[in-house]
Structure 1
Amino acid sequence: MVKMHGRCNLACRYCYLYEGPDRSWRERPAAAPPGVLERTATRIGEHAAAHGTRALSLVLHGGEPLLAGVDTLARFTGLVRDRVPDDCTVHATVQTNATLLTERRLAVLARNGIRVGISLDGGLAGHNTARTDHAGRPSWPAAARGARLIAERRPEAYAGILTVVDPATDPVELYESLLALRPPALDLLLPHGNWSARPPHREGPGTPYGDWLCAVFDRWWRAGRRETRVRLFEECVALLLGLPAATESLGLAPFDAVVVETDGSIEQVDSLKSCYEGAARTGLDVFRNSFDQALSHPGVAARQAGAASLAACCRACPLLAVCGGGHYAHRYRAGHGFANPSVYCADLQRFIRHVARRLTEAVPAVPADPVAPAVPVDPAVPAASEGDVP
């Protein structure tokens, strides 16, 4: 993940990056200078060659990366492709709020093989009231125009939509509003919160986030994949079936992403910045250090240790193989680090068990001596309550 621009043209009221505890973005250049981009491309090429990498994901990020200019995004992507071995495919994506998309910019991105992922709170103006510009004006008209433009004119470059779950919204209405924007895929993310900074609606009992996800899952499950892919749902189903799956929110697969900031610093992923000042810092940079050195950093290594890095109650949980302890940043508790269950533990159990029940209902009865599923799917197994976790 490369930070092409460290500022944003929006001022979303809930933004963990600019409104959260970490203020390191203020000390860095707004846009990544040519020297940083040049050196980053070289480091990516070195790493791909050293490990015989056949494919890698290059995410052009921000802030709002389109503030760097689409020609800069195209040049940098071309530089990376030139530096990796000939048999290594670079899958490039730009993650944008869509407000700056125009026909020309989309044409440049598509021509250079850069797919476009869009971040929205939903597919209606009312879902996006917290997403305003720095003058307090709503971003929805421009964002909706950009989303419709790519769906209509450049569907081959459309990567999908990323949406953060909000239990205050009607789940099915929000899902169907996003379908109207014709995304090939959706990614549903839980808001970044932890035990010391609880996410919204997570102060009391109940499982508001789990309930929301279950409602959307049922709507998606009935329709099938002909509507759109939902990464969280597909990964959960795969993990329940014992298949390999990789997502930051579920499973035990080692996490394999790092961030290059606009000043060339190599950091862990931005989500850690929602925990405390400096949580993502490694002390490394592309001028002095390789990505192999980043892999050996204690913070990165902890995220590749699988179950060994989890709390004892997580390791003993029958849902471990699917849940994987949840998102790393959501486990943080001041004074206790990350060796805790997710602040969304009860919500995740609610969601995973619900998906397991739907799978059980869909699969015909098997003969004697069946192969055991990846996790118990018996709905009678009690779920953890809020009081069972720290």
Structure 2
Amino acid sequence: MVPFRQFLLKIHSRCNLACDYCYVYESADQSWRERPRVMDPRTVRRTAALIAGHARDHGLGEVHVVLHGGEPLLVGAARLDALLGVLADALDGVADLRLTLQTNGLRLVEDPALLPVLARHGVRIGVSLDGTAATHDRHRRRPDGRGSHAGVARALRLLAEGPYRPLYAGLLCTVDLAADPVETYEALLEFAPPRLDLLLPHGTWHTPPPGLAGRTVVPPTAPGAEPGEPVPYARWLRAVFDRWYGAPRRETGIRLFEEIAALLLGGTARSEAVGLAPVDLVVVETDGTIEQADSLKVAYDGAPATGLDVFTHSFTDAARHEAFRARQRGRAGLAPVCAACPRSAVCGGGLYAHRYRPGATPTPFAAPSVYCPDLAALIDHMTTRLHRDLTALEAATRPAPR
């Protein structure tokens, strides 16, 4: 059994945006409709106590709590302050508490009381931004159809340029094939992010991501060979990688590239998106339901469900649940074609949700990622660049023969 170290709390189940690609509201699972808007204080207290108990029982020196939604800042400053206080009190003397919040940023401008609360509790803030104003507003719109980029930009200036800079964790950007990749990257750099996350749009073999309709499951090609299918996401990501990697100085971190590079060099990664590390994240919904990662909502109605909740079960019960154990088996948990692939230790089969294919056996998640050819092409590209540079570095530092 692998204990949980990351606890994602859905403290508000509604949002003030209507993003067209949202995996919570626009996907197969619509369970949000039946859940309370806000996590009740009783649920918060019970969840905090269970997190502390889990940390104590498994000797965890540190736990990471992510506040999520919907839009978590819709809870308001007073309720947020109380919630953070409950978590801090429960973990005091048990484990170090690392707090992160993922937001669309709009409430940071609309409610001036929020940032002081977040600063007082040391909450690191990640903000969703999809690049240029045109690209961002194409997808991340308000319910009345207005774009949200201008409001997000104001929030980011508060974080990047003022006394709250230490809270700024970085930006999360969903890849849009219609946007120029380098232009997107440079638009994100305008807000001086400490780090970027570039996310592939959530999709499956049943509901393919944009640009991948009609893709079939194919065995991965040999390293260095051209994939047998178009790889639009690899082309997009390779352009950003080359711009980022070739910069004369470090401009920011990009999580996907850094973790692939670490794996290629024999290190480890803790991302769900790549690598074979066992999943150590659990989700608690506003009603106290314990679920798997909510990216699974793109697969089918009820895909993240476990049947567990914080009032009648512990997180150790959840960690023993087959749904979580299935994601902790490393290479043995991959589809046969993936387990045999030389890239499997790096791509790890891709994000679990992206493997969903009805009819696959022994489970519908026993297929390669719908992004398999793209991941292969990106990994091969990065392998070539890193190998070339490491070879040159080795040659430059080799002692001259006497």
Fold shared by both chains (TM-score > 0.5)? yes
Q: 1:365 offset after TM fit, Å?
A: 5.7
Q: Distance in 1 between matches of 2:146 and 2:94?
A: 47
Q: Is the 8 A contact 1:123 1:180 kept in 2?
A: no
Q: Which residue of 2 aligns with 1:137?
A: 146
- RMSD after superposition: 1.6
1:361 maps onto 2:371 in alignment: no
Q: Which residue of 1 aligns with 2:223?
A: none
Q: Is the 8 A contact 1:294 1:300 kept in 2?
A: yes
Amino acid of the residue matched to residue 161 of structure 1?
L
Q: 1:136 offset after TM fit, Å?
A: 1.4
201, 206, 210: which one aligns with 1:191: 201
TM-score (norm 2): 0.89
Q: Distance in 1 between matches of 2:249 and 2:205?
A: 35
Q: Is the 8 A contact 1:116 1:160 kept in 2?
A: yes
319, 324, 347: which one aligns with 2:374: 347
Q: Distance in 1 between matches of 2:70 and 2:249?
A: 32
1:260 maps onto 2:260 in alignment: no
Q: Distance in 2 between matches of 1:224 and 1:63?
A: 39
Structure 1 residues 323 and 346, CA gap change in structure 2 (3 angstroms): same
Further displaced range: 213-222 or 198-207 = 198-207
Q: Is the 8 A contact 1:48 1:85 kept in 2?
A: no
Q: 1:201 offset after TM fit, Å?
A: 0.7
Q: Which residue of 2 aligns with 1:57?
A: 64
Q: Is the 8 A contact 2:231 2:373 kept in 1?
A: yes
Q: 1:113 offset after TM fit, Å?
A: 0.6
Q: Distance in 2 between matches of 1:98 and 1:123?
A: 16
Give the match's secondary structure for 1:175: helix
Q: Distance in 2 between matches of 1:197 and 1:338?
A: 14
Give the match's secondary structure for 1:101: helix
Q: Distance in 1 between matches of 2:88 and 2:171?
A: 25
Give the match's secondary structure for 1:223: coil
Q: Is the 8 A contact 1:118 1:162 kept in 2?
A: yes
Q: Distance in 1 between matches of 2:27 and 2:336?
A: 29
Q: Is the 8 A contact 2:12 2:75 kept in 1?
A: yes
Q: 1:87 offset after TM fit, Å?
A: 5.4
Q: Which residue of 1 aligns with 2:310?
A: 286
Q: Distance in 2 between matches of 1:97 and 1:70?
A: 16
Q: Distance in 1 between matches of 2:95 and 2:345?
A: 31
Q: Is the 8 A contact 1:165 1:190 kept in 2?
A: yes
Structure 1: tracts of 5 or more residues without a match = 368-390
Q: Which has the higher contact order (CA 8 A, sep 6+)?
A: 2
Q: 1:281 offset after TM fit, Å?
A: 0.4
Q: Distance in 2 between matches of 1:68 and 1:294?
A: 27
Q: Which residue of 2 aligns with 1:334?
A: 358
153, 163, 166: which one aligns with 1:156: 166
Q: 1:225 offset after TM fit, Å?
A: 6.3
Amino acid of the residue matched to residue 234 of structure 2?
G
Q: Distance in 1 between matches of 2:14 and 2:393?
A: 55
Q: Deviation per CA, 1:170-219: give whole Å up to 9, x if none.
A: 00000000000111100011111011111001126410001111110011
263, 268, 274: which one aligns with 1:239: 263
Q: Which residue of 1 aligns with 2:131?
A: 122
296, 311, 315: which one aligns with 1:272: 296
Q: Distance in 1 between matches of 2:105 and 2:68?
A: 13
Structure 1 residues 123 and 55, CA gap change in structure 2 (3 angstroms): farther
Give the match's secondary structure for 1:339: coil
Amino acid of the residue matched to residue 21 of structure 1?
A
Q: Distance in 1 between matches of 2:313 and 2:296?
A: 21
79, 92, 100: which one aligns with 2:86: 79
Q: 1:72 offset after TM fit, Å?
A: 2.2
4+ aligned runs moved over 4 Å, structure 1? none
Q: Which residue of 2 aligns with 1:207?
A: 231
Give the match's secondary structure for 2:196: strand
Q: Distance in 2 between matches of 1:308 and 1:50?
A: 28
Q: Is the 8 A contact 1:106 1:150 kept in 2?
A: no
Q: 1:75 offset after TM fit, Å?
A: 2.3
TM-score (norm 1): 0.91
Q: Which residue of 2 aligns with 1:309?
A: 333
Q: Which residue of 2 aligns with 1:381?
A: none
Q: Is the 8 A contact 2:77 2:113 kept in 1?
A: no
Give the match's secondary structure for 2:277: coil
Q: Distance in 2 between matches of 1:313 and 1:334?
A: 17
Q: Is the 8 A contact 1:29 1:263 kept in 2?
A: yes
Q: Is the 8 A contact 1:58 1:93 kept in 2?
A: yes
Give the match's secondary structure for 1:100: helix
Q: Distance in 2 between matches of 1:230 and 1:292?
A: 33
Q: Is the 8 A contact 1:49 1:84 kept in 2?
A: no
Q: Deviation per CA, 1:56-100: give whole Å up to 9, x if none.
A: 111000000000113322322222222125252111011000011
1:70 maps onto 2:77 in alignment: yes
Q: Which residue of 1 aligns with 2:347?
A: 323
1:173 maps onto 2:197 in alignment: no
Structure 1 residues 123 and 70, CA gap change in structure 2 (3 angstroms): farther
1:12 maps onto 2:4 in alignment: no
